[in-house]
Chains A and B, each alone.
Chain A
Amino acid sequence: MGELRLMKGNEVIAEAAIRCGCDGYFGYPITPQSEVMETLMTLRPWETTGMVVLQAESEIASIHMVYGGAGAGKRVMTSSSSPGISLMAEGISYLAGSELPCVIVNVQRGGPGLGTIQPSQADYNQATKGGGHGDYSLLVLAPASVQEMHDFVILGFELAFKYRNPVMILADGVIGQMMEKVTLIEQRPRWTNEQIQALSGGWATTGKTADRKKHVITSLEMDALMMEKYNLRLQAKYLQMKQDEVRYEVIDCDDAEYILVAFGSAARICQKTVQIARAKGVKVGLIRPITLFPFPDKIIAHYASNVKCFISVEFNAGQMVYDIRLAVNGVTRVEYFGRMGGVVPTPDEVEDALNQYF
């Protein structure tokens, strides 16, 4: 059994990284996630596990440091918040294009521009539809608790190496800043050189030995037909993720006439709304996508013929609602309710919105 503690979401990212044997963290300060690097610098894992922690000169440098480390077969990560993730877009595209595994945490704040340091989910489209250039997809995990901040660092590295693909943990300022109890895993050792050879020995730049060809990490291909082939391979990988990696939580949906769909901290609020409305006899349920890419469209489609309306509840102007509409494909009504710019709605506000669709 692991250790039970009361911790902030951001601090837990740091703890989980060290405990799961992460090799390197590269970051740049930005509210509301600076505690990640601050915690790492206080815990000094380089003295215990040997993990490298480096404050870079920018998010651009951080993400390209992640590229270098990932290319060497190491388990590396970064974290930031919305404006910083925009700066990382170039590097994220290169990571996806070179098929490099890594974990990127976005503790979202309100935008656009410098925006606000208050919580937001306005980077949903950026995370799930690209953000950088080119046809690529990240695996996107949306934690709704401090425990999931912990668990998804570990799961994130597993998935990143399983698919040789960047994984994004799309959190928000609420999850990053709030304190909850969390069970931490026991310290695991970092991978040895032998383990790296066994897992990534076919591609990582660990130094060319006489028994193998040189390894080159690159996303460059001058021949259009070859580049298309390469793209097709990437697309096949994303399809595989869609088949095997969809994760979600379903609450009270079996008899539901109305289903709220929400991720992250919006789902926590909707959970309360479901309790309040159910107490008044309203048959309402909640679907919480845990993976935002791949999106849990099948489970949404499954309930579509039974419900009068899906309501997408988001801390943004309505981004996930389009993915729900695609999943529902016109079978029933799909509406959106949300607040923007750092405003977090209350459970009662969500209930009022729900009442409109009776």
Chain B
Amino acid sequence: MACVIEKINEIIAPENLVYAKSPLTNDDIMHYCPGCSHGVVQRLIAEVIEEMGIQEQSIGVTPVGCSVFAYKYIDIDWQEAAHGRAPAVATAIKRLMPEKMVFSYQGDGDLAAIGTAETLHAVNRGENIVMLFINNAIYGMTGGQMAPTTLVGQVTSTTPFGRNVDINGYPLKITDLIAQLPGAAYVTRQSVHTAAAVRRAKKAIRKAFEIQRLNCGTAFVEIVATCSSGWKLSPVESNKWMEENMFPHYPLGDLKDSKRADSGLYRIKSK
């Protein structure tokens, strides 16, 4: 017994701690369900802001949806936007304070249904903001209704017999649309379901923030995410369901990186 305790103490010794909570996240217990991706992504945002040393510049815009309370967890200034309007709110903050680092954070209902116009036009204007898009293929907050991104055949509370394209149309690949817009500098689709995926997602988020510094257009990061409660699956089953069903329709990877091959530089917008 004594030797086990000794071993544990050795493992948790400060010099052996490789994972720590970002000082930008507080001790509040997150309200997210077990298995939800929102908490992981928000931790990554906090880490990126801390590592880049941009806490004083950063202003986040939260959506209406499960992540409305993101402002509780990361220690920066925030504005809470109306449902779907985060890109418009972020547009004005950045235009009026170009020296700040501004990002919006939205779910799929928020970004790709009620806020489609604000989303597409903010990117089309090439707003110098970071847009983070959490695609869990469902309306989490309101109890699991169909989202624009809900897969064909997927059961939700408003598609109890599965999404039927004759009635509901097709799952919207809004990130693919966004990649077509000249205002987008960087468009990528990531996930956070494995340690390796989390590392890649963090790299993408960091890159998005760095692109904002270059004043060359919108940096857009989609995270294909799980919603165990909405999907009515365990966290483990959710990851599996996501890999088998979401990834084929929403393949991971960069959709656009407008870095110029010749110079390695991003196009700087004319002011």
List chain A positions with a Cβ less than 8 A from chain B.
23-24, 26, 52, 54, 56-58, 60-62, 64-69, 71-72, 74, 76, 90-91, 94, 98, 205-209, 214-220
Contacts and interface: CB of A to CB of B under 8 A. Distances in A.
A94 B64 CA distance: 12
B134 interface: no
Contacts of B58: 207-208
B11 to A, nearest CB: 34
Nearest to A54: B95
B55 to A, nearest CB: 6
A76 B92 contact: yes
Contacts of A218: 71, 78-80
B82 interface: yes
Given A26-B92, A68-B93, A76-B96, A61 B59 contact: no
A214 B93 contact: no
A190 to B, nearest CB: 10
A54 B91 contact: yes
Contacts of B100: 207
Contacts of A208: 55-56, 58, 75-77
B90 interface: yes
Contact of A207 (B77, B81, B88, B91): B77
A61 B96 contact: no
**Chain A interface mostly:** mixed
B28 to A, nearest CB: 12
Interface string B45-64: 00000000001111101000
A72 B92 CA distance: 9
Contacts of B90: 68
A18 to B, nearest CB: 15
A31 B96 CA distance: 27
Given A52-B95, A90-B82, A216-B78, A68 B61 contact: yes
B78 A68 contact: no
Contact of A61 (B68, B76, B88): B88
Given A52-B96, A69-B93, A61 B79 contact: no
Contact of A205 (B59, B68, B95): B59
B262 to A, nearest CB: 32
Nearest to B101: A207
Contacts, number: 120
Given A61-B121, A207-B56, A23 B96 contact: yes
B117 interface: yes
B263 to A, nearest CB: 29
A216 B97 CA distance: 17
B118 interface: yes
A209 B56 contact: yes
B105 to A, nearest CB: 14
A342 B213 CA distance: 50
29 contacts: A23-B96, A26-B92, A52-B95, A52-B96, A60-B118, A61-B88, A61-B118, A61-B121, A62-B88, A64-B92, A64-B118, A65-B88, A67-B82, A67-B88, A68-B79, A68-B91, A71-B79, A72-B93, A72-B96, A76-B92, A205-B59, A205-B78, A214-B71, A214-B76, A214-B78, A215-B77, A216-B79, A218-B79, A220-B80
Contacts of A62: 88
A60 B121 CA distance: 12
B82 A94 contact: yes
A206 B93 CA distance: 9
Contact of B118 (A52, A57, A209, A215): A57
A62 B80 CA distance: 16
A217 to B, nearest CB: 4
B85 interface: yes
Interface string B215-236: 0000000000000000000000
A62 B214 CA distance: 26
Contacts of B68: 220
A64 B57 CA distance: 21
Contacts of A74: 96
Interface centre among A57, A64, A66, by most chain B C-beta atoms within 10 angstroms, is: A64
B71 to A, nearest CB: 5
Contacts of B59: 72, 205, 207
A193 to B, nearest CB: 9
Contacts of A207: 56-59, 76-77, 100
Contacts of B57: 207
B246 interface: no
B89 interface: yes
Interface in B71-129: 71, 75-82, 85, 88-93, 95-97, 100, 117-118, 121
A217 B93 CA distance: 12
